[in-house]
Every structure is written in C-alpha cells, then in structure tokens.
Amino acid sequence: FSPEGGSAAFTLTRANLKKNGYDSWLWLRRDGKNSRLTGLGKEHDFVWLDEKTIAFAGDREQRGAVKGPSIETKYYKIRIDGGEAEEFLRFPVPVSKIIPMKGGDFIVCASVFPGWEDLYRGDPKRAEEYLKDKKENEDYEVIAQMPWWWNGGTYTKGSYSSVFRWDHRRKKLIPLLSFGIDASSVKLGKDESFVYFIGKDAMQPFRRMEGSSFLARVPADGKTPADPETLVRSKADLEIYNYELADSFLLLLASDQAFGRNTDPDFFKVDYETGERAPYAKWGQALGSSVASDVRYGGGLSRKMVGDTLYFATTLWDGAYLYKLEDGQITPVIEKDGSVDCFDIAGGKALLAGLYDMRPQELYEAPVDGPKMGTLKRVSDFCGKALRGRYVAQPEPIVFERLGRPIHGFVIKPLGFDPAKKYPCILDVHGGPKTVYGPVFFHEMQYWAGKGYFVIYCNPQGSDGRGGEFMDVRGKYGTVDYDDIMAFLDEALAAYPQIDPEELFETGGSYGGFMTNWIVGHTDRFRACASQRSISNWFSFYGVSDIGPEFSEAQQSSTPWREPAFLWSRSPMAYADKAKTPTLFIHSFEDYRCPIDQAYQMFSALLAHGVESKIVAFRGENHELSRSGKPQHRIRRLKEITAWFDGHRK
C-alpha cells in the first residue's frame, strides 16, 4: 500500500518461453481497478516515496549504449498518475534495499567487499581498480569462511551487507555501522532515531556458531559509524527468528530450540529504552506459508505491524492463514483453506496474493475487522485465460490415523476419469521436510492428471503446520516418515480401487528426493521413480552443501565423526545394493543446496548393481529449477519425468 493507503502496487511476473526467462512489471491498484504502471518487463523491487510516487531498481539505459562492467545500482522513480520513469538514485555499490526518510534521505542496505570497504565513497578510480583486480583473479577462488558458496550463486568471497545513510543533498553514502558486521532484516525506527537490524560477525569463519546472531540498533543520524547497541543475543535456548517494531514496544520472534534449529518461534516484548525482555504470546507454529506450489514467483510481506497489533501469515495443518496478535492474544483473521502467500494492510483492509479455489496466484481483498472480517473477494483475473477450457483436478482429502496421529493426504483424479477403469498413479513427496502439501494449484500434478494419471500426496511426520513435536524428525529420516508415506499409499489404494497397484510411480524433490532414493532401496512396489535435487549420502552432503554442516547436524542429530555408523544407516546409498526400481535423476549443476554429486553417487551405485538409471542435468539452474527455473528448462524437466514414467508402463 502507499503511505496513506490510497493505492497499492504489486509486481506481476510472466514466463516468457521465447526468451526463456521472465518478464516482470509494476502494476497499480487504485479505485478498484488494476493497471500496468511500467512497460519494459524488467521492474520488480520497489518502494513508495510518497502517495503518488514509486521508486524501483533497474537499468533503463538506451539500447545500444556502450556498457562496461559496473557495480553501481540505479533507482528510478515514476508517478502513478502518468509520465515516464526517470533516474532518481545512483549508488556506487550493489544495493539490496532502500528505506525513505522524512527529510529526503534514505537508509540503504549495501554490499561491502573485504579489502575494498571504501567503494561506498564512489571514487571512480577505486571502482576501476576493484573491477580490474576482480578480472585478474577470476580464475582463482580463495575460501576462508562458511558458507563458502550459496545455491544458485557462486563462491561467497566474503562479501556482506552493511547499513548506510544516503545524504541526498551531498549525494553520498554515510556508513552507520562499523564494518565487519553482516546486517539483515534492517528497519528504521518509528521516530527515525535508530536503525534496527539482526547482525552477525561477517568475518567469522563459521557463521552458525552459538550466539552468533544478535538484534541491535545504531543511531540513524549518520554522524559517525557506530558499534551496535545489542538488545538481544541468540543463545542455546533463545534463537532469534526476526522482529517487528510496534508503536510502544519491540516485538521479538524467537524460539527456545526445543525441537532443534527448526523450532517455530514464540513472541516476546522488548522495551525500547531498557531492552528488558518479557514473554508476550506462545505460538510455536510456522510463520509464513509453507504450502508447497510451483506457481509462485517473487514474494512480499508475511508480517505487518499496525500500531501495536501484528498481522501475520501462519501455516496450520494443510493451509496458510492470516492471524493477528493483539494484547498478547492470537486470533484468526482469514481462515479460508488455501494459502496467504503475502499481504499488506491499510485502512482496515488486507490486500493479498494467495492460492485459492485451485487457481494460480491472484489478488484478493478482505476486511480485517468488523462483521465481515476475513471475507475474501478476488480482485484480479490474471490466470483465468490460462485455465479456461482446461481440466483442473480437484484434490480429495484422505485422513487416517497411524500411531495415534492423524495423517493428511490428497488425491486428484485423471482427466476423463471413469470409475469402471484402472489408472496409473504417481506418488509425489514434498521437500523440506518442513513444508506441507495443501488443496492448492500445483502445476506438475495438474499436468500429470491431464496425462491420465492419478496423483497422490500427503504430509507425513516431519511436515510443517502441526507444531514442533510432529515436525521433529531429527535422526528419524527414512523411518516414521517413510512408514507414514507407505501407509498413505495403502490408504489411497483402498479408497480408490481405480488406482492400478501394478502401475505405481513415485517422485519427489529435495527432501522428497532423499525419500525417493530411500524408497528405491527399501521397496520394489513402484515401476519407476524420479529423484529430483536429492540427498543420497550424509557424509558427502555434510562437506559439499551450502548448508551441509548445519543441516546435517540439525536433522540427523549426529556428525560423521560422532556416530559414523548411524549417519551411514540414514544414507540412501547404504541400501543402493538392494534397489531394483528404474530411477531417473533430475539435477542442476548450480544446485549447491543438494549438490549434483548426490545424484552422481546414487546413479553410479544403481548402475553398478544392474538397475536401469539415467541422469538429466541442467546447466544454469539450481535448487529452484521446478519453481523458478528457465521456462524451457521447467518444461523439459516435466517432459523427462513423464516420459520416464510412460516408458515404464506395463
């Protein structure tokens, strides 16, 4: 929303198959209508400057202009009542966020490069020296910190984000924070006296160390770089998740880590003056939407502070809803099944992007108070044309009990379903494992239903939305979760006799890829499987993944040195000699979350034991291939999996 709530802006993104990329534009919602504001198809991040003006990052140089390498960041501004965008700000370093101040200055989050900390000054010669040095050393990587690379990116090279103030009169950046501190979640205080942030020691070799993160603030006046005033520091029983600035207190979101590092947070009040902390509300549920889908691109707010009331998206069971925290009490605002993906609130009304009624994302409005609170009204139809005249399968729930716990799952029927016929079936396992499947539009599942397959999917133990005890599968991968999935398969077969038990297939990505690798070593009831962006060996994953040490220790409650036999027993590679199921591996070369060596190992092991197997690997893609990869690659991935299954039919 604009500062006074009179208008709203949003980004609309569309896959461009011809260019094999994505176009994105800024759109405006005003007077009940949606209209496109920009036209180049390159605009995404933006901020309101005032009620009539928006600033956005980009590069709108004339075509054919001679361009050399640069680390500058440009912002443009455009009026919502007409006119062309014009260059507004030019920063000498990469900038990820700007926060407008009342007098025309900005708080700026900008990159700092060790050894080149002075680049923010904007000296052209110094920038030229930096780019020359970078070019001369592009064949070498010096690794001295962890994580030492990041999914879809490259080696981290020690760069980090710091906080500056942009003096609009002198056109210069002024450091607010001592160098050497990596700052995230940067917010400007209500009276603009302080800038708040979550910090870490940027030069710490291993950033995950206990107590490494802290909530702090520095003066916003820009008089001199300051050492931060620490308000809260993480420790063994208090892991900082995030924070919000209420009018009369600071709201801290933090967990006691009762279920490890994935423990969902509770709420605490922190006094602005004294820093005194006190419990405010217990929650212990997932914040934001954990509902899996492959029709999102980008995002937005999942929390919004209005006065002293927090509105927040939260995942409960199989959906994501809007709740509010007021006077220490948590109550629902929007309870419609589906997913609140992101939202904003102004004038007693929420505007949100959501997944409802088996449609891809659309815009919705809902009052957040009064007798009609939470009543959703769809106010866009961006995806209607794509769905028109096409079969959209409706998820049918399956709920059953195992070990005294309800397990939720869904079944979608194939196109042209005939109760008298038998159909093949694909079991789809979600990633995470701390995510959920819900009754929302999932393109790959709809594609397979359109190809004549049943598609079934469930939320086994380890899934999100049901509190820490159900989410906790530390040291249990491949045990209770595998048994839940196999029990769900049996329930689906019993409930839908049209599913041919001799025509079963299975796939999954990330954690679902781990489970696929585990499945082929523990059962031969599937005719073929497709393992995507998977984990196969916890030993090698530990040393190669960008989150390897942290994730491995947190999820397996062990290390390669403390309990090597146990860690091997939880690795799918340990059971590859028992596999019989033809297995396709889908992986990406720049996937550093679950690096491609995981597919290579399992693929080699299966071939060594006479099991039919194949790898399809994608250049220029990472762990997000199925969700935000290049459109042609996403289509190729889907066709490869489908052809693999089709080729192994009876």
461 and 470 in contact (C-beta within 8 Å)?
yes
> Which pLDDT value is given to residue 36?
96
Q: What would the mean pLDDT of 594-605 be, rounded to a whole number?
A: 98
CB-side exposure of 255: number of CA atoms within 13 Å? 17
In the chain, what percentage of residues exceed pLDDT 70? 98
- C-alpha closest to that of 4 among 39, 35, 49, 37: 49
- C-alpha closest to that of 212 among 257, 250, 181: 181
> Which pLDDT value is given to residue 211?
56
| pTM confidence score | 0.95
Instruction: Give the pair of three-digit tokens for residue 557.
Output: 């409650």
pLDDT, tens only, 303-338: 999 999 999 999 999 999 999 999 999 999 999 999
Q: What would the mean pLDDT of 345-350 be, rounded to a whole number?
A: 96
> Which pLDDT value is given to residue 3?
96
**How confident is residue 153, by pLDDT bands cut at 50, 70 and 90?**
confident
pLDDT, tens only, 518-575: 999 999 999 999 999 999 999 999 999 999 998 999 899 889 999 999 999 999 999 9
Chain centroid to Cα 176, Å, comes to 29
Rounded to whole angstroms, how far apart are CA atoms 149 and 157?
A: 8
**Residue 226 reports pLDDT greater than 90:** no
Say if residue 114 is preceded by a cis peptide, omega within 30 of 0. no
Instruction: Give the pair of three-digit tokens for residue 347.
Output: 């004038």
> Which pLDDT value is given to residue 63?
52
Instruction: Give the pair of three-digit tokens for residue 86.
Output: 């014009």
Chain centroid to Cα 318, Å, comes to 17
> Which pLDDT value is given to residue 82?
84
**Residue 155 reports pLDDT greater than 80:** no
CA angle 453, 421, 641 (to 5 degrees): 15
* Dihedral sign, Cα of residue 580, residue 586, residue 588, residue 592: negative
pLDDT, tens only, 363-409: 999 999 999 999 999 999 999 999 999 999 999 999 999 999 999 99
- Indicate the DSSP class of residue 263: P
Instruction: Give the pair of three-digit tokens for residue 625.
Output: 């291939």
**How confident is residue 224, by pLDDT bands cut at 50, 70 and 90?**
confident
C-alpha distances out from residue 341 to 44, 186, 226, 370, 608, Å: 17, 22, 37, 23, 45
411 and 448 in contact (C-beta within 8 Å)?
no
- Indicate the DSSP class of residue 464: S
**Which residue do the tokens 């289509």 mark?**
635
**Residue 223 reports pLDDT greater than 90:** no
**Which residue do the tokens 């300051």 mark?**
226
3-state secondary structure of 289: coil
pLDDT, tens only, 171-211: 999 999 999 999 999 999 999 999 999 999 887 655 454 55
- Indicate the DSSP class of residue 235: B
Average pLDDT, the chain: 94
**Residue 589 reports pLDDT greater than 50:** yes
Instruction: Give the pair of three-digit tokens for residue 327.
Output: 């006077």
In the chain, what percentage of residues exceed pLDDT 90? 87
**Residue 510 reports pLDDT greater than 60:** yes
76 and 86 in contact (C-beta within 8 Å)?
yes
* Dihedral sign, Cα of residue 128, residue 65, residue 11, residue 165: positive
CA angle 611, 615, 618 (to 5 degrees): 170
- C-alpha closest to that of 213 among 176, 255, 249: 255
> Which pLDDT value is given to residue 209?
47
pLDDT, tens only, 37-75: 999 989 988 999 999 999 999 877 655 554 678 899 999
What are residue 217's phi and psi, to 5 degrees?
-150, 155
What's the residue count for the chain?
A: 650
**Which residue do the tokens 């299975």 mark?**
506
